[in-house]
């Protein structure tokens, strides 16, 4: 049975992916900072599969390596890594942006993804098998007003997705990215620091993607035959054409 490690499994896309992977019967390592949420999800999913919860902040590199290098034997061979943990922090013009927000996005979306990947990849190389899915964004394919540093962090994920695929070529490891457009999760609440009204407005007047839509695509990607690697996928809701062109019926 395959073992999948999902970062950012306490909410949104990561949580929906954990649920869909449980249906597939995968052993799950669910990660995030909020232990209470991890425990709740573990309670729910352990009825159908084996689940281990690992609470750590992806910014804390010592913790990332300690947790991933000391997995119990039943979970230590990670077949699938979903690099999903991440968020936007703020939506300000570059001249007004908060340095704390910039650092959070670079430390979580980029450096955190690197730490987790570095902890997981050696085992995949030893076993000559593995599948890494990097959750990028349309913000990694284009830049929108005030998106500056978030877009930069996701462009970096796009570059790393390509770089990982090149460097791991011939080692039996599949690497690919899924780049969603607007998905209704806690993403905008985090971006606007808990301002629920502002967050709600992002998704007003059209039917945004749901986290389950992305999870379903991730399921498709990981269940292709071994010789098929979906290298890079952009997914938008029907109402969205680009980051800034969204057909809102307001």
The verdict on 53 binding ligand NDP (CB under 6 A) reads no
Q: Would residue 150 show up in a list of annotated catalytic residues for this protein?
A: yes
Least distance from C-beta 180 to ligand 8X3, angstroms?
A: 7
149 near ligand NDP, rule: CB under 6 A: no
Q: How far apart are CA 82 and CA 15, in angstroms?
A: 11
Whole-number Å distance between alpha carbons of 130 and 125: 8
Q: Is 29 in the site for ligand 8X3 (CB under 6 A)?
A: no
Residue 79, SS3? coil
Name which of residues 162 to 181 contact ligand 8X3 (CB under 6 A): 181
Q: What is the DSSP letter of 208?
A: -
- Which among 164, 130, 32 has a CA at the least distance from the CA of 85? 32
Helix segments in the chain, DSSP class H: 12-24, 35-45, 61-69, 99-105, 113-127, 148-167, 187-191, 196-202, 211-222
Of 74, 65, 171, 174, nearest to 127 (Cα)? 171
Which of 115, 144, 150, 203 is flagged as catalytic? 150
Q: Which is nearer to ligand 8X3, 230 or 235 (CB)?
A: 235
Quick check: 176 binds ligand NDP (CB under 6 A)? no
Binding segment (CB under 6 A) for ligand NDP, from list 8-16, 17-25, 123-131, 193-201: 8-16
Q: How far is the CB of 170 from ligand NDP (least distance, A)?
A: 28
Q: Between 12 and 176, name the residue whose CB sits nearer to ligand NDP.
A: 12
C-beta closer to ligand 8X3: residue 11 or 243: 243
Residues with catalytic roles: 150
């Amino acid at each position: 049975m395959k073992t999948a490690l999902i970062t950012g499994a306490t909410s949104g896309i990561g949580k929906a992916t954990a649920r869909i992977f449980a249906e597939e019967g995968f052993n799950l390592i669910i990660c995030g900072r909020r232990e209470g949420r991890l425990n709740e999800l573990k309670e729910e999913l352990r009825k159908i599969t084996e689940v281990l919860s690992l609470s750590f902040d992806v910014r804390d590199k010592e913790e990332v390596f300690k947790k991933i290098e000391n997995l119990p034997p039943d979970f230590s061979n990670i077949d699938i890594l979903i690099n999903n943990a991440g968020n936007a922090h703020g939506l300000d013009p570059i001249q007004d942006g908060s340095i704390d927000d910039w650092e959070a996005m670079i430390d979580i979306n980029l450096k955190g993804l690197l730490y987790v990947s570095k902890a997981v990849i050696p085992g995949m190389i030893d076993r000559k098998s593995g599948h890494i899915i990097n959750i990028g964004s349309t913000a990694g394919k284009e830049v929108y007003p005030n998106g500056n540093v978030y877009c930069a962090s996701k462009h970096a994920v796009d570059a790393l997705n390509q770089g990982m695929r090149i460097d791991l070529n011939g080692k039996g490891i599949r690497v690919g990215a899924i780049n969603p457009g607007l998905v209704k999760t806690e993403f905008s609440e985090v971006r606007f620091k808990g301002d629920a009204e502002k967050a709600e407005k992002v998704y007003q007047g059209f039917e945004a993607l749901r986290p389950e839509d992305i999870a379903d695509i991730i399921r498709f990607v990981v269940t292709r035959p071994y010789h098929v690697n979906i290298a890079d996928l952009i997914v938008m809701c029907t109402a969205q054409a680009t980051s800034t062109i969204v057909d809102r019926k307001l």
